Structure formats: structure tokens, C-alpha cells
Amino acid sequence: MEIFGVDIGGSGIKGAPVDLDRGDLAQERCKVLTPHPATPDGVADGVKQVIDHFGWTGPVGLTFPGVVTGGAMVRTAANVDKSWIDTDARALFGGRLGGLPVTVVNDADAAGVAEMQFGAGRGRPGTVVLLTFGTGIGSAVFVDGVLVPNTELGHLELGGHDAEKKASSKAKEDHALSWEQWARRVQKYLAHVEMLFSPELFIIGGGVSRKADKFLPHIKGVKAEIVPAQLQNNAGIVGAAMRAAQQRP
């Protein structure tokens, strides 16, 4: 079965039909730049552009980089325009897409669901924390395979700042950090999350997961196992499609 998944990020909007039997993209993904400012209307236009590229007419799952409650309502907007707050995203996207069935989920939660079903978290019991490093830091927490939604651990305080301002991959670029320098910041962040949740496993997702060999060897002193996401930067697309499939009547 194929369902369309779209991953909305602070820098890009990417999507593709997903083969839910394999947990992989059925076609090469299409990506457009996230508009700036990333207003609801601007982002909705970008999503439509991605879906129109494939001529898709079925159910659509979408991720959003913030807290989403009830599969529809946006409650936070750290890396997109603040006008998103209290927007009914399901109604917005459904209207822009001509009434297609739409499901909206937190972006890291979607990535986590995909990794737990098809990737690095498959078959892993206990507490598992997926962290996506990109424009910000997203998080998904699982206890014996069950998601605790909308954790948003990227906003934990680290050195007097939101952790994502110090340890996201954007922070690496903004401060021209070497992989080793950035790894030290990530290490401090992981140690803080470990102190709070005592996970057995950290899964590191986002675009940096493709370059795990450049920074994971520099992370020391964290007791939990640390592995890169297996679905890499496609995890959000796959997870969005999975959630849309679960919402089908």
C-alpha cells in the first residue's frame, strides 16, 4: 500500500509516495525550499507544490516542526512563523489540497515512529529516544515501543539557552564548528537528556545521520547506546505516511 508523506522542516519541504510494506519511498522525493517567513499560507503553497509534482490524489500525512495536538492543532512554532500557533493545520492543508484526507503529526514523532517500525529502533524494548538534528532539535520518546508525543526536548535548557540553539546542525553551521567541536556540544546535550530519561538507546536522526562516523566517535561518557537513524532523512516522510494510514477509515 502507498500513502503520501510530507516532511515540513525549517529549511525544506520534502515528500514522496511511501511503500508502507517496505517502509521506504516508492519514488524519488521532491523537495522545495521552506518559504521565509514560513507562514501558514506560504508553507501550504509549498506542500501543494510537492504533492502536485506527483499528481497525488489520495490520503496525505504531513509532519510539522512543533507541537501538534489532536492531529490538527499547532501549539508551538519555534522554527516557523509564530502565526502558526493555534492554526488548525489539518483544515488548512486539507483546504489547500482540494479536500484530500490529511493527517498532521509532530515531525520528530513521525521520524521516531518510522525508525521504531522499520529502522534502528525495531524490536527494541525499554526507553528509546530519537533526536533529529537539523534547523532545530526534535525528539521522540518511546517506552516499550509506545510513543510519548510532543516531547520537544530540543527546548531543554543547555548552558542558559535552548539546547537547539547550541547543538543543532544549524548551530554547527552558524558557528563554523568542526565535527569534534560540535560533538562536544551534542555530548553535553545527550548527557542532560540521559540524566532525565535514562534511555537504553539514543537514535540520532536528521541530515547529520548520514555523517555519523564524523561525530559519534567523539561522543564519550554517555551510558546509553548511540546509533544513527537507518532511514536517515527520509524517516519523517515515512512516519507521516504511516500515521496517515492509521487514520484511514
Residue type at position 130: L
- CATH code where residue 158 lies: 3.30.420.40
Domain assignment of residue 68, yes or no: yes
214 shares a domain with 178: yes
Q: Could you give the number of structural domains in the chain? A: 2
Residue 82 CB coordination number (10 Å): 11
CA distance 146 to 142: 5
- Whether the CB-CB separation of 3 and 61 falls below 8 Å is answered with yes
- Per-residue burial over 182-192, b = 16 or more CB atoms within 10 Å of its CB, e = otherwise: bbbbbbbbbbb
9 shares a domain with 61: yes
Range of the domain at 202: 122-230
Residue 110 CB coordination number (10 Å): 34
135 shares a domain with 205: yes
CA distance 165 to 154: 9
Assigned C-alpha cell, 182: 560540535
Domain assignment of residue 85, yes or no: yes
CA distance 37 to 43: 9
Per residue in 187-220, pLDDT tens? 999 999 999 999 999 999 998 999 999 999 999 9
178 shares a domain with 93: no
Residue 122, pLDDT above cutoff 90: yes
159 pLDDT tier (thresholds 50, 70, 90) = confident
Domain assignment of residue 225, yes or no: yes
DSSP characters for 181-222?
HHHHHHHHHHHHHHHHH--SEEEEESGGGGGHHHHGGG--S-
138 shares a domain with 186: yes
142 shares a domain with 241: no
70 shares a domain with 143: no
Average pLDDT over residues 217-242: 96
Domain assignment of residue 63, yes or no: yes
97 shares a domain with 156: no
Domain assignment of residue 117, yes or no: no
pTM of the model: 0.94
Residue 11, pLDDT above cutoff 70: yes
Q: What is the pLDDT of residue 248?
A: 67
133 shares a domain with 226: yes
203 shares a domain with 132: yes
Assigned C-alpha cell, 225: 547506546
Domain assignment of residue 115, yes or no: no
226 shares a domain with 134: yes
Per residue in 37-79, pLDDT tens? 999 999 999 999 999 999 999 999 999 999 999 989 999 998 8
Per residue in 70-104, pLDDT tens? 989 999 998 899 999 999 999 999 999 999 999 99
249 pLDDT tier (thresholds 50, 70, 90) = low
Give me the chain's average pLDDT, please: 96
